[in-house]
Amino acid sequence: MFSSLSDRLTATFKNLRGKGRLSEADVDATVREIRRALLDADVALPVVKQFTAAVRERALSDEVSGALNPAQQVVKIVNDQLVEILGGQSRRLQFAKNPPTVIMLAGLQGSGKTTLAGKLGKWLNGQGHKPLLVACDLQRPNAVNQLQVVGQRAGVQVFAPEPGNGVGDPVAVARAGVAEAVSRQHDIVIVDTAGRLGIDAELMQQATDIRDAVSPDEVLFVIDAMIGQDAVQTAQAFADGVDFTGVVLSKLDGDARGGAALSVAQVTQRPVMFASTGEGLDDFEPFHPDRMASRILDMGDVLTLIEQAEKAFDNKDAEALASKLEGGEDFDLNDFLTQMASLRNMGSIKKMIAMMPGAAQMREQLEAFDEREVDRVEAIVRSMTPHERTNPKILNGSRRSRIARGSGMTVTDVNQLMERFSQAQKMMRQMRSGKGMPNMPGMGGMPGMGGGTPGMGGFSGGSKKSKGKALSKNKRKGGKSGNPAKRAQEATGVTAKKSEPGAAFGGKSEDAFDPSNLPKDFSSFLGK
């Protein structure tokens, strides 16, 4: 969503590189470009003014003028200000001292409240809680049925005593839902309320009545991050009418400019607590202002990537692989298959790579990447026999042809996969020997990324090409040496002989000095 803003800011900072000192004109030009980037990204005008004023003030201070690298210091200032307008610090849910904790969802119709209720319920379930979803949206057609379906998919119970579609009292259902949670020993209640297409008195009154009836510990305002400047006005109206305690940004994976989402926390003075980043129930994460600022400035979000990896990768599998490598055994295709399964559990590969520093530089390759390539790789490996997976060296031409037919791929695809696997094997051997990762940075471009991903070097096709590029340039240039002295010898046709025992400067000992090789007349050297 913030790709356009990220590109503009990155281009602005490039203009500062190489300058040992920043003049006031340089700072003004940078601030002007930042202002344009924020306005183009749909950030609210009051927020833009406050942001750029703070950046300019700090950029002209001794903090930058005395820095060894002023450009990096300006990037740090912009990062700090982005963190501030995004809320400063992450805020967690406040749980009630005496369960159940009541969480009320509010927002306009179409903002994604019902789907978010399922996502939040599943996330809390994974945190060890026992949530209950309460269907209080009795106005929108099939809203109750939708919540039941979402709850079933999320593995969370739903309390829906009324059919909805205009039938039932939402305030009474909310009150009964809390009582149901107490009797069934649910420690969290998530109340899904009705929305409207726009702000009106009836909507605010119903939300206020539900709030007064259940006294929620948290009121989360769900806002569509794609609605533009209306996001700020809607958020302010709900802050005045319902007095919510936190914001949830939905549809953050959209292609809109999304700058209004940056404005909500600053305008309402309420923290952004969660972000919904996709359609799946697992596409939901706590919102961290510092990590989001790093993503916008193309500095990556490694901490979130590590957290996702910790959830996806099985500790037992990791320990088994470590023990295997320590025992001197080779990394085989069974291990490769296990790693691929863990990679799949982490979610979208595009999203994972987008969290890496510098990902904006390979955005076109990311967009062209086909997520189904992982399925094709897995199909090839699963078409092998257990013996072939353990001993990949036995894969001759006929076996590879059979594997290609069994997986619906071509022999070329099988050959490319085996080349990539061979590189992974070599990498594991070097790690086992304590030499570290070879050819860093480089873990290999992901399959389907074309010629390989920049900075990710070995899991892409075309390894022969990369080896060809790695060949000595001297051979392609006619065998010229990189040593200036040797080049001079080669130019005059004189080549050095290999050293042999008994000769200090090359050649046999009896040939170390031959007077007959001296010129007859030295007059040319004496200028005569």
CATH assignment at residue 273: 3.40.50.300
Q: Which of 8-17, 31-40, 114-123, 375-384 has the lowest mean pLDDT?
A: 8-17
Average pLDDT over residues 15-31: 78
**Of the residues 421, 442, 467, the one at which a domain ends:** 467
Cβ contacts of 471 within 8 Å, gap of 6 or more = none
What pLDDT does residue 255 have? 59
- The per-residue pLDDT for 131 is 94
Q: Evaluate if residue 461 carries a pLDDT over 50.
A: no
User: For position 392, what pLDDT does the model report?
Assistant: 86
Domain total in the chain = 3
60 and 175 inside one domain? no
Tell which wins on pLDDT, 32 or 490: 32
Residue 516 placed within a domain: no
- Check whether residue 12 and residue 140 sit in a common domain: no
Give the separation between CA 29 and CA 49, rounded to whole angstroms. 15
Of residues 495 and 402, more confidently modeled? 402
Q: Residue 315 contacts by C-beta under 8 Å, 6 or more apart in sequence?
A: none
Is residue 415 domain-resident?
A: yes
Q: Answer yes or no: is 241 a known binding residue.
A: no
Confidence of residue 439 (pLDDT cuts 50, 70, 90): very low
Higher pLDDT, 310 or 478: 310
Whether residues 272 and 346 fall in one domain: no
506 marked ligand binding residue? no
Answer yes or no: do 173 and 142 share one domain. Answer: yes
Q: Locate 491 and state its tokens.
A: 């130019």
477 annotated as ligand-binding:
no
Residues 351 and 411 in one domain: yes
Shared domain check, 360 and 240: no
11 within some domain: yes
**At which of 231, 266, 297 does a domain end?**
297
Q: Are residues 124 and 273 in the same domain?
A: yes
Tell me whether residue 351 is annotated as binding: no
Residue 474 lies in a domain: no
At 136 the three-state DSSP class reads: strand
522 is a domain residue: no
More confident call, 247 vs 325:
247
Q: Is 107 annotated as a binding residue?
A: yes
**Which pLDDT value is given to residue 150?**
93
Helices (DSSP H) in 17-112: which residue ranges?
Answer: 24-40, 45-59, 62-65, 70-85
User: What is the structure's pLDDT at 459?
Assistant: 38
Same domain membership, residue 424 and residue 330? yes
**434: confidence class by pLDDT, cuts 50, 70, 90:** low
> What pLDDT, on a 0 to 100 scale, did the predictor assign at position 399?
92
pTM of full prediction above 0.75: no
Which range (48-52, 196-200, 256-260) has the least confidence?
256-260
Q: Is 153 annotated as a binding residue?
A: no
322 and 407 co-located in one domain: yes
Q: Tell whether residue 297 is among the known ligand binding residues.
A: no
pLDDT at residue 518 greater than cutoff 60: no
Q: What percent of the chain has pLDDT over 90?
A: 19
Q: Residue 333, annotated ligand binder?
A: no
Query: Does one domain contain both 215 and 120?
Result: yes
| Residue 226 domain flag | yes
Domain-located, residue 506: no
Same domain, 44 and 153: no
Domain residue limits at 51: 3-85
**Residue that is last in its domain, among 51, 85, 119:** 85
Q: Is 520 annotated as a binding residue?
A: no
What b/e sequence results for 337-356 when a residue is b if at least 16 CB atoms lie within 10 Å of its CB, and e otherwise?
bbbbebbeebbbbebbbbbb
Reported as a pLDDT band with limits 50, 70 and 90, residue 104 is very high
pLDDT over 60 at 497, yes or no: no
Let me know if residue 475 belongs to a domain. no
Residue 489 has pLDDT above 90, yes or no: no
Residue 293: Cβ-neighbour burial (10 angstroms; 0-12, 13-18, 19+): buried
CA distances from 97 to 102, 188, 214, 424 (A): 11, 12, 15, 51
Task: Flag whether 109 is marked binding.
Answer: yes
Confidence of residue 171 (pLDDT cuts 50, 70, 90): very high
Contact 204, 241 (CB under 8 A): yes
pLDDT digits (tens, 9 = 90+) for 106-164: 988 888 889 999 999 999 998 899 999 999 998 888 899 999 999 999 999 999 998 88
Q: Is 460 annotated as a binding residue?
A: no
111 is in an annotated binding site: yes
Q: Dihedral through CA 264, CA 266, CA 272, CA 278, nearest 10?
A: 40
| Residue 362 in this model has a pLDDT that exceeds 70 | no
Q: What is the CATH number of the domain that holds 452?
A: 1.10.260.30
Tell me the average pLDDT of the chain: 74
40 is in an annotated binding site: no
Please compute the mean of the pLDDT values over residues 96-107 and round it to a whole number.
91
Question: What are the Cα distances from residue 224, in Å, to 117, 123, 264, 372?
Answer: 14, 20, 11, 29
- Residue 194 in marked binding region: yes
Q: Report pLDDT for 16.
A: 74
| CATH number of the domain within which 16 lies | 1.20.120.140
Q: Does 318 or 194 have the greater pLDDT score? A: 194
Average confidence (pLDDT) over 449-459: 37
Task: Compute φ and ψ for 283, nearest 5 degrees.
Answer: -85, 70
Q: How far are the Cα atoms of 52, 349, 373, 441 from residue 340, in angstroms, in the given order?
A: 45, 11, 11, 21
- By C-alpha distance, which of 244, 245, 137 is closest to 196? 137
If one compares 500 and 60, the residue with the highest pLDDT of the two is 60
270 and 173, same structural domain? Answer: yes
Residue 410 annotated in ligand binding: no
Q: Is the pLDDT of residue 524 over 50?
A: no
